[in-house]
Amino acid sequence: MTTPEASAQSEKNRVVIFDTTMRDGEQSPGASMSMEEKLELAKILEDMRVDVIEAGFPIASNGDFEAVREVAKIVTESTVCGLARAGIADIERAAEAVRPAKRGRIHTFLSTSPQHRDYILRMSQADVLDAVTGSVTHARNLCGDVEWSAQDATRTERDFLRRCVEAAIRAGAQTINIPDTVGYTYPSEYAEVFKDLIENVPGADQVIFSTHCHNDLGLAVANSLAGVQAGARQVEVAVNGIGERAGNAALEEIVMALRVRADRLPYWTGIQSQHITRASRYVSAITGFPVQFNKAIVGKNAFAHESGIHQDGVLKNAVTYEIMRPEDVGQGGSNLVMGKHSGRHAFREKLKGLGYDLGQNALNEAFGRFKDLADKKKHVFDDDIVALVDDSLARGQDRIQVKALRVIAGTEGPQEAHLTLVVDGEERSATATGDGPVDAVFNAIHELAPHGAVLRLFQVHAVTEGTDAQAQVSVRLEEDGRIATGQAADTDTLTASAMAYVNALNNLSARKEKTAPAPIVASGF
């Protein structure tokens, strides 16, 4: 196994990691993120040394605009990017949103394929070329760093794609992204597109080419790597591979493929890979999208060895069946960590080891909850602590809080929930019945905090093994087109359910209405 240190780390082989979890990832149905969640994720991505964070699509809504702007204010190391269609209003809104960033980027795009030109844009090739020049020029006048994307590039006529890329370079784009928007290409074909552009477009040697692959045929990671081998030096990715439809190339898979196979893929990234698992868990928690057990790199089973032969091999030497170390991606495994006698200092050190650097208030809050958990649960594992801290961070300054819950469940229905909530500082209690204990709990919440939201997702999973494991619950609610996810962890599944539902309600009321951008793509150029 060759480490990145062993491969030549010249600038020419440096691959820029562009994370679009908060933009393309957020376009996954139901994956919308609140401003607080985006800010927290931005911190994790920055800790991980992601080069570019695409924080949203500022024209899409005031919420998206503000989220990009707030991320731009707090991120100091990574470039913060906002997406814009090829329209004046889009570009100006994106420029405004990234203005506070130490390093800001406008990412503007226009469709180039015949399918999109004819059916969406109703524009001729000449119109598209003019709009590319106009949009990139306008963006460059407002921001020093501009990326241009040829939407649906892989279904675009090659000669026309070359002309579009040339126009974007001439107008001042420094990064040229070649998206496989519909997940249609395959590795050797995608590599040919990059080779063709790099060899034949004037000025190609002055810009960075970028991959952006969707996973409709399960080829997003393979295609991205083929793009890198053909000369691309930026890869667009999303944590856990989330994104439109089947998603984007997964950050963790691209980073670790480049790292583990540096012998054959002599490229390197600046990513601190030990933050990967934390990012994966956080994204899963805030979106409510579970990570499949056998998911490469971040799945629960990614480093589990079940068969006797494998276990025997790993015990003798891990290299027998492990091509990377779990700790390289921040998978500490479920090692027993602490108990109720552990002190605050040890707790803080443990958190640091898990990638958390909490302020004093957040630390005190998390420590208090850890002590409560240690009272209830004999063995507290790393995964328990991660769930507990993420849970505390998600809760923030909630308007509605769960004070007390008692549930009568069992074979004789109806099940009954006695619930006390604190709503805007006022304590309210109610008893409700339901078709099962969870239904009873949710009905009681409805009585105490009336709302019109519809439950879209209710999901429970055990954080660790054993009957005393914490239940991690995700709830997604929808009201008038607004979607919010809430999560909570507790050793009591019903308490976690109540807290997750209430957390989703809090997030919902905090969320500004998000309007889908109209499909117009070019105006004013």
Residues that bind Zn ion (CB under 5 A): 24
Using the minimum distance from each CB to ligand KIV, give the nearer residue, 81 or 225.
81
CB of 475 to ligand KIV, least distance (A): 28
**Alpha helices (runs of H) in 3-113, residue ranges in sequence order:** 35-47, 62-74, 88-98
Please choose which of ligand KIV, Zn ion, none residue 37 contacts, taking the beta carbon within 5 to 8 angstroms, the exact cut-off set by kind: none
Residues 357-386 that bind ligand KIV (CB under 6 A): none
Please choose which of ligand KIV, Zn ion, none residue 155 contacts, taking the beta carbon within 5 to 8 angstroms, the exact cut-off set by kind: none
Cα separations (Å) of 485 from 282, 452, 459?
A: 12, 15, 11
Mention every residue, 6+ apart, whose C-beta is less than 8 A from residue 260.
Answer: 1, 323, 324
Using the minimum distance from each CB to Zn ion, give the nearer residue, 109 or 442.
109
Please choose which of Zn ion, ligand KIV, none residue 211 contacts, taking the beta carbon within 5 to 8 angstroms, the exact cut-off set by kind: none
Tell me 363's DSSP state.
H
24 near ligand KIV (CB under 6 A): yes
CB of 27 to ligand KIV, least distance (A): 8
Using the minimum distance from each CB to ligand KIV, give the nearer residue, 154 or 280.
154
d(CA 105, CA 91): 11
248-282: b or e for each residue (b if 16 or more CB lie within 10 Å)? bbbbbbbbbbbbbbbeebbbbbbbebbbbbbbbbb
CA dihedral 188, 194, 200, 202 (to 10 degrees): 180
Question: Which residue among 21, 113, 149, 223 contacts ligand KIV (CB under 6 A)?
Answer: 149
Mention every residue, 6+ apart, whose C-beta is less than 8 A from residue 174.
Answer: 145, 146, 147, 206, 207, 208
181 near ligand KIV (CB under 6 A): yes
Question: Which residue among 151, 223, 470, 495 contacts ligand KIV (CB under 6 A)?
Answer: 151
| β pairing state of 16-19 and 234-237 | parallel
d(CA 237, CA 140): 24
d(CA 440, CA 422): 18
Q: How many CB atoms lie within 10 A of CB 76?
A: 10
**C-alpha 331, offset from chain centre:** 18
Number of residues that bind ligand KIV (CB under 6 A): 9
Cα separations (Å) of 88 from 81, 106, 383?
A: 17, 12, 47
CB of 110 to ligand KIV, least distance (A): 9
Q: Which stretch, 176-184, 391-399, 456-464, 512-520, contacts ligand KIV (CB under 6 A)?
A: 176-184
CB of 60 to ligand KIV, least distance (A): 12
Using the minimum distance from each CB to ligand KIV, give the nearer residue, 249 or 373.
249
Mention every residue, 6+ apart, whose C-beta is less than 8 A from residue 357.
Answer: 351
Residue window 197-236: x/- pattern of binding to ligand KIV, with contact defined by CB under 6 A: ---------------x-x----------------------
CB 109 within 8 A of CB 148: yes
Residue window 104-143: x/- pattern of binding to ligand KIV, with contact defined by CB under 6 A: -----x----------------------------------
Using the minimum distance from each CB to Zn ion, give the nearer residue, 24 or 54.
24
d(CA 260, CA 323): 7
18 near ligand KIV (CB under 6 A): no
Please choose which of Zn ion, ligand KIV, none residue 109 contacts, taking the beta carbon within 5 to 8 angstroms, the exact cut-off set by kind: ligand KIV
CB of 470 to ligand KIV, least distance (A): 36
Q: Residues interacting with ligand KIV, by CB under 6 A?
A: 24, 109, 149, 151, 177, 179, 181, 212, 214
